[in-house]
A and B are shown apart, each in its own frame.
Chain A
Amino acid sequence: MHAVLNLTPEQDVKLGQIIAKVQDLPSMPAAATRVLQITGSADTNAQMIADAIVLDQALAAKVLKIANSAFYGLSRSVTMVKEAVVVLGISHVRNLVITASAAPWMRRALPGYDLEPKQLLLHGSAVAIGARMIAKSRRLTVADDAFVAGLLADIGKIVLSEYFDGKLATMISLGAQAGMTFDQVETKVMGFDHACVGARLAEDWNLPATLVHAIRYHHAPSEAPEAYRPLCDCIHLADYLTMLCGFGMGGDGMFYEVDEAAFERLGINANDLDHIVDEFVTAYQHQEALFEEISQS
Chain B
Amino acid sequence: MSSASTSTRLMVNMAEIHVLTGAGQLVGLGLGSCIGLAAYDGSKKIAGLAHIVLPEAFVDRAVTEPGKFADTALPELIRKMELAGASRASLKFAYCGGANVFKFGPGKTNDVLEVGRRNADAVKAVLSKFSCRVVAHDVGGNSGRTMTFDVATGLIQVKVLSVGQEDLCTLS
Q: Say if A and B assemble together.
A: yes
Chain A residues with Cβ under 8 A from B31's Cβ? 246
Does A254 lie within 8 Å of B32, measured CB to CB?
yes
Chain A residues with Cβ under 8 A from B142's Cβ? 176, 253-255
Does A261 lie within 8 Å of B107, measured CB to CB?
yes
Chain A residues with Cβ under 8 A from B113's Cβ? 258, 260, 270, 273
A291 within 8 A of B: no
List which A244-258 residues lie within 8 A (CB) of chain B: 244-258
Chain B residues with Cβ under 8 A from A114's Cβ? 161-162
A interface, over-half SS = helix
How many positions in chain A have a CB within 8 Å of any CB in the partner chain?
36
Complex interface bits, B56-85 against A, C-beta within 8 A gives 1, otherwise 0: 101001000000100000000000000000
Binds B, one of A53-61, A72-80, A199-207, A275-283: A275-283
A72 to chain B, nearest CB (A): 23
B interface, over-half SS = loop
Complex interface bits, B137-170 against A, C-beta within 8 A gives 1, otherwise 0: 0000011100000000000000001110000000
Chain B residues with Cβ under 8 A from A255's Cβ? 101-102, 142-143
Report which of B55, B58, B109 forms a contact with A275, defined as CB distance below 8 A: B58
A255 to chain B, nearest CB (A): 5
Report which of B107, B115, B162 forms a contact with A277, defined as CB distance below 8 A: B115
Does A277 lie within 8 Å of B163, measured CB to CB?
no
Known interface pairs A277-B115, A278-B54; A257-B103 also in contact (CB < 8 Å): yes
Does B54 lie within 8 Å of A169, measured CB to CB?
no
Chain B residues with Cβ under 8 A from A244's Cβ? 32-34, 115-116
Report which of A248, A253, A275, A277 forms a contact with B53, defined as CB distance below 8 A: A277
- Size category of the B interface is 35 or more
Chain A residues with Cβ under 8 A from B116's Cβ? 244, 254
Report which of A248, A258, A261 forms a contact with B101, defined as CB distance below 8 A: A258
Chain A residues with Cβ under 8 A from B55's Cβ? 274
Does B107 lie within 8 Å of A251, measured CB to CB?
no
Known interface pairs A270-B110, A277-B115, A281-B15; A249-B30 also in contact (CB < 8 Å): yes
A181 within 8 A of B: yes
Report which of A245, A260, A278 forms a contact with B34, defined as CB distance below 8 A: A245
B52 to chain A, nearest CB (A): 12
Report which of A270, A277, A285 forms a contact with B54, defined as CB distance below 8 A: A277
Residues of A within 8 A of B (CB): 114, 168-169, 172, 176, 181-182, 240, 243-261, 270-271, 273-275, 277-278, 281, 285
